[in-house]
Amino acid sequence: MRAALAAVLLGACALGAGCGGSKSGNTIAPTTSAKQRTRLFTIRSSAMEPTLHCAKGPVVVGCLGRHDDRVLVQLGKAVKRGDIVVFRTPPEAALRCGEGGLFVKRLIGLPGETVHEDAHGFIDIDGKRLAEPYLSAPLRLADTVHFGRTWHVPKGEYFMLGDNRSESCDSRTWGSVPAHNALGPVVTIIRGRRRIT
């Protein structure tokens, strides 16, 4: 089985990206601002590498950063395809990946769409190739388990994938996410002391 899910922590808050090399828990511990309705999370999973970094070390496999990235999430903001989203996993995630809770992934499929992963790791939505500039050829080809598979996204649900496909336990494994489980999109990535988005 793939590496166990990793947690994303900040103070009393933790957020899992789903798989990505750690055997730690998968809970979220956010810092909330009542004025802005935002929460800050720290990434401790390689499932979204290289977009979101976790710190290199013996505990989490596949991390590229010197420090864990932090992300600011806009609670309740509408999400769209391509957004990096924090969401509550469906129960099937815990059964299929060994851990559930709050994850961070990229929204790929919208309600009613058909998602297909071809024999080269490219994603098609309703028969049209999805542009994924954030995904390198090596990352695309590193996980052949789902090549040739097709999924239908039910009404009122989203299809979520990690950018580091071989280290991500995502909708390809445990299915779509009810739309009401989405907390909101990542609006800022903080790498070290720098805001990069």
Question: What is the domain partition of the chain in residue ranges?
Answer: 9-195
- Angstrom distance (rounded) from CA 94 to CA 100: 4
Query: Quick one: CA dihedral 102, 84, 17, 147, positive or negative?
Result: positive
pLDDT by residue, tens only, the chain of 197 residues: 333 223 333 322 445 555 444 323 233 344 444 455 999 988 888 899 999 998 887 767 788 888 899 999 999 999 999 999 999 999 999 898 888 888 999 999 999 999 999 999 999 999 999 999 999 999 899 989 999 999 999 999 999 999 999 999 999 999 999 999 999 999 999 997 777 76
Residue-level pLDDT at 36 = 58
- Angstrom distance (rounded) from CA 59 to CA 7: 11
Assigned token pair, 184:
């909101």
| pTM, full prediction | 0.82
| 183 close to 102: Cβ distance less than 8 angstroms | yes
Assigned token pair, 19:
């798989």
9-195: which CATH topology? Umud Fragment, subunit A (2.10.109)
Residue-level pLDDT at 114 = 98
